[in-house]
Structure 1
Amino acid sequence: MGRPVGYYVHHQGIGHWHRACAIAAAMDRPCTLIGTFADVDTAGAPGPVIDLPDDRLPDDPISGFDGLDGEADRPQGLHYAPLRHPGIRARMARIAAWAAEADPVLMVVDVSVEVALFARLLSLPTIVVRLAGTRTDPPHREAFRSASRLLAPFPEALDGDRVPDWVRAKTAYAGFLGQGPASGPSCEDDGRIVVVFGRGGAGGSLPALAAAARAVPERPWHVLGPVSGEGAVPPNLHLHGWVDDVDAHLGSAALVVGGGGDGLVAAVAAHAKRFVCLPEPRAYDEQRDKALALQRLGAALVHEGWPDAALWPDLVRTGLALDPTAIGALSDPDAVRRCAALIDTIAQGLE
């Protein structure tokens, strides 16, 4: 079995957790998942879980902290280092205690500059996950430099043109690591438009969705994820909220509409579905850069922000004219297994 691997999981959205669980389940050695899991059901985790104290700043301004984490006195190699935050002290102490007790062979960091550099201070080799977007700022560069290897959870064809050569050379392109069926349409579509809102975003607006559905009344609209606001719901608009069978809805879609998050893009590619990508604001233009790369490949139609109702008929027509094999070609059903094997190989070499 060998010495264990630690896998740090970021708390933003749910995609990091799903990716970590899929990879850990496919590995040949023990893998401990480490992160803040207050909003995650960890019952089905494929191995040990360490739930860290939260490091986010509280909403209560009377907190005893020194305010927001500004740049005035923060070291240039860090993104986030608020002073007098007991949660940060406790989480770093917990990571250090686990490392001293478990003697891990390496740490996968998905994602945190601070955890990556802290692992290096603990004398742990790291594999740092490199997300999409322009990450050439000093903290990212230092985290990338400190890593034994970088791991990109997307195909090399989607990498940005502003990535330094030395970062590319250090990167293993794992491909999409979301869970889904084998590449290609899973069933015949029934003409529906499926709109997906994930956990990491603001969700949908009922008035905006209703206006879009009225603008394209000949097609049923099915919405997955949170929706807020009030108003009349047209008969062709169906609100499902959170669902466990996302794949079933995607499999029946003629057109998928949603953001540029890793999980949704991976699922759309796995199903080879025509895609209207509405990238959401993210740090370092992560979703925007990925969406524009998809568009350059003919794999998606991109519109920044939720479109006005008058634009939807043309967006739907243009989206339905896409060749679904373009996005389907980006999916590799063996990506998770190959990624797990790479981590196992790196770990074996370190031992």
Structure 2
Amino acid sequence: MTRPVGYYVHHQGAGHWQRAVALARALGALGRPCTLIGTFAGLDTAEAPGPVLDLPDDRLDRDFDGRDGATDRPECFHYVPLNHPGIRRRMGRIAAWAAADDPALMIVDVSAEVALFARLLSVPSLVVRLSGTRTDRPHLDAFRAASRLLAPFPEALDGGEVPDWVRAKTLYGGFLGAAPSVAAPDEDGRIVVVFGRGGEGGDGRALARAAEAVPERDWHVLGPVTNIGTGPKNLHLHGWVADVHPHLAPASLVIGGAGDGLVTAVASLGKRFLCLPEPRAYDEQEAKAAALKRLGAAIVHRGWPDAPAWPDLVAEGLALDPGIVRALADSTALARTADAIEALCRQAG
């Protein structure tokens, strides 16, 4: 019997889930079963290509900010609150699954605690390393515990302070889940603004002012928006959409944060990109945005622009060479990464 892969999926945003599904499907094509593990409330798990192990929620409350409120904790952990029954059940289910299914590998995307727990369970791990400066003790200990690290972006976008030994241990997977890198031939001049699950969403009044400042173009907005009122006729709010690609394909300019999902889609479709990096721990989006700007793959602006700034920003974005960002996408990235994971599994026996 082929030993399975366990894939731990973090619940912040939709990018972790989308990446997990794409990799699990690619591993399945190689004959390697993959179980997706995590807290999946609010996600449609029907698209999972294999088993799903849904875990009890480990958050303290609905306003969870990643902090456990502890005045004292072991330095190797980020989040280990005491007296939380959900965490006990959560770790118990992971351990029970590992004991029953004898996994060849655990992919951890992302959690320092689960990475260290996999090591305690004697399961080799491939720990996902996101952008940003992750030189704190928990991250470095998780990286040391891993057999390999996986960067879900091209090496050209690596940024922040990264120790040499971490880079040497990293498999640069590229944009995982990206469609073939081809130009969309049917651009119609529209601007598409994207807000993901992991952020605060858009403000309807600010969007209206932006659309009014550039009235010659239609503005299409994907994702959550608050303060929705009567806007100009060139502003179209679509709400949450399961697949952004059909909406991005006709866009002449895409506006949004530097989350993995959107950057992957922008690169795969070769879209001019105005990047508005959102605040994230360890400067994750800032580091990625800085790399995109350095390469000439995006215009970067910190924070939502004031109305008078929009005409010039749109003009700068439209002047970008879309071939630069398109060159970052590798149509073989997913298959190549799946092959590397399969090789790690075979080493485990």
Common topology (TM > 0.5) = yes
- 1:32-43 aligned within 5 A: 32-43=35-46
Greater mean alpha carbon deviation, residues 22-31 or residues 205-214: 22-31
Aligned partners of 1:256 and 1:90: how far apart in 2? 42
Instruction: Deviation per CA, 1:157-210: give whole Å up to 9, x if none.
Output: 011152100000000000011343x11212221000000111111111000000
Q: Letter of the aligned partner of 1:130 in structure 2?
A: R
Query: How well do the aligned residues superpose, as a CA RMSD in angstroms?
Result: 1.4
Partner of 1:341: 339
Q: Cα deviation per residue 1:266-313 (whole Å; 9 max; x = unaligned)?
A: 000001000000011100000111001000000000011111011000
Q: Which amino acid aligns with 1:70?
A: G
Residue aligning to 1:114? 113
TM-score, reference length from structure 2: 0.96
Contact 1:220 1:237 in 2 (8 A): yes
Q: 1:134 to 1:161 in 2, by over 3 A?
A: closer
| Equivalent residues of 2:34, 2:50 under 8 A apart | yes
Contact 1:213 1:237 in 2 (8 A): yes
Local SS of the residue matching 2:47: coil
Structure 1's 60 and 272: CA in aligned 2 closer, same or farther, altered over 3 A?
Answer: closer
Equivalent residue runs for 1:32-71 within 5 Å? 32-59=35-62, 69-71=68-70
Structure 1: where are the runs of 5+ without partners?
62-67
Alpha-carbon distance in 1 for matches of 2:233, 2:321: 30
1:279 alignment partner, one of 266, 277, 280: 277
Q: Which residue of 2 aligns with 1:76?
A: 75
State the alpha-carbon separation in 1 of the partners of residues 71 and 117 from structure 2.
Answer: 22
How do residues 1-351 of structure 1 correspond to structure 2 at under 5 angstroms?
2-27=2-27, 28=30, 29-59=32-62, 69-180=68-179, 182-351=180-349
| Structure 1 pair 245–98 and aligned structure 2 pair: CA distance change class (3 A) | closer
Q: What one-letter code is carried by the residue in structure 1 that aligns with 2:192? A: V
Q: CA deviation at 1:227?
A: 0.8
TM-score between the two structures when normalised by the length of structure 1? 0.96
Task: Give the deviation of 1:72 after TM superposition.
Answer: 2.2
Range that drifts further, 153-162 or 69-78: 69-78
Q: Is the contact made by 1:33 and 1:50 (CA closer than 8 Å) also made in structure 2?
A: yes
2: CA distance, partners of 1:327 / 1:234: 31
Equivalent residues of 1:276, 1:302 under 8 A apart = yes
Question: Measured at CA, do residues 146 and 326 of structure 1 come closer, stay the same or move farther in structure 2, by a change above 3 Å?
Answer: same
3-state SS, counterpart of residue 126 of structure 2? strand
2:187 and 2:163 mapped to 1: Cα distance?
41
CA contact (8 A) 2:132 2:160 kept: no
The answer to whether the 8 Å contact 1:22/1:179 transfers is no
Contact in 2 for aligned 1:194/1:221 (Cα 8 Å):
yes
Q: Which moved more, 1:292-301 or 1:50-59?
A: 50-59
Structure-2 separation of matches of 1:97 and 1:213: 53
Hey, what's the Cα distance between the residues in 2 that align with 1:136 and 1:312? Answer: 36
Distance 2:267 2:92 in 1: 40
Deviations 1:99-140 (A, max 9, x none): 000011110000000000001001111000000000000000
Q: Matched residues, percent identical?
A: 69
Q: CA deviation at 1:71?
A: 5.0
The structure 1 segments of at least 4 consecutive aligned residues displaced by more than 6 Å after TM superposition are: none
* Number of corresponding residues: 344
Q: What amino acid does structure 1 have at the position aligned with 2:255?
A: V
